[in-house]
Amino acid sequence: MIEVILWDVDGTLLDFGAAEKAAMEACYAHFSLPPLTKEGLAAYSALNQQYWKRLERGELTKPQVLVERFREFFAREGLSPELAVPFNALYQEKLGETACILDGADRLIARLRGRVRQYAASNGTRVAQERKLKNSGLDRLLDGVFISELVGAEKPSPLFFDRVLSAVGPVERGRVLMVGDSLTSDMAGGLGAGLRCCWYNPGGLSLSAQDPAPHYTISHLSQVEGLLTLS
């Protein structure tokens, strides 16, 4: 039986796309930049995902990711790359101001309280994630929050999970369920750490031969509840 759930935050408990859009628009307005187009936002989002994949592969550090993504994006858009540092600082604050709960996550976590211990496990920045979790009220429902900056390692690194589980306390790894939307971060990391893994896949994406194979795949978060008693 599952005793501990580790929840990914962005794309699992909270709508990252909504937060990203609101934060980018607010920052563009603050720095008096031309209006952010739908195409521009899509281009940034795709570039941002590429940079986070590079972080997962150990090619870049998080500070490099946070700034260099904007340097490259601004250069492509004909804007000053020198804006990258101040833009990112404000972006982290604004990112935490929009907290749209996905798929009844708050109600599910509330229902599971007392049955299992539940923790957020995120690679997002401390500034953004602490604000999001507070604004959404999820911080008051969870038993704790693990943010990679404070943990000292990033998913999918085994060190991230080792430190998280050490802080959680004695529990068999096979009784810990990692729930997340990222195959390369949440699922690969959880499987490497010996955890049970549940891929949140509301879009109905297909696994390729190169993808890690999670123990479970769900399209709605409510399905997690039915996994708790499976062996």
- Extents of the domains making up the chain: 4-15+99-227, 16-95
Question: Helix, strand, or coil here: 126?
Answer: helix
pLDDT digits (tens, 9 = 90+) for 20-54: 999 999 999 999 999 999 999 999 999 999 999 99
Q: Two tokens at 140? A: 């008051």
Intrachain domains 4-15+99-227 and 16-95 with the same fold: no
Q: What is the helix, strand, coil percentage profile of the chain, to 5? A: 55, 15, 35
Predicted pLDDT at 70? 98
Going from the C-alpha of 52 to that of each of 41, 56, 122, 161, 202, the distances in angstroms are: 16, 6, 13, 18, 21
pLDDT band at 231 (very low <50, low <70, confident <90, very high): low
pLDDT, the chain, mean:
96
- Within 10 A of 166 (CB to CB), how many other CB atoms are there? 9
Fold of 4-15+99-227: Rossmann fold (3.40.50)
Residues 135-169 have pLDDT tens digits of: 999 999 999 999 999 999 999 999 999 999 999 99
Please name the residue ranges forming H helices in 78-228: 84-95, 105-112, 126-136, 148-151, 158-168, 188-192
Domain 16-95 fold is DNA polymerase; domain 1 (1.10.150)
Check the CA dihedral 124-125-130-131 and report its sign: negative
Question: Is-contact 122 16, C-beta < 8 A?
Answer: no
Q: Which of 150, 129, 152, 133 is nearest to 142 (CA)?
A: 133
In the predicted model, what is the mean pLDDT of residues 221-231?
A: 90
pLDDT exceeds 80 at position 230: no
Residue 52 host element (H or E): helix 38-56
Report field, pTM of the whole predicted structure over 0.85: yes
pLDDT bracket for residue 229 (50, 70, 90): confident
Structure tokens at 43: 């281009």
The dihedrals phi and psi of 25, each to the nearest 5 degrees, come to -65, -40
Q: How many residues does the chain have?
A: 231
Given a contact cutoff of 8 angstroms between Cβ atoms, the answer to whether 120 and 129 are in contact is: yes
Angle between helices 16-30 and 84-95 (to 10 degrees): 130
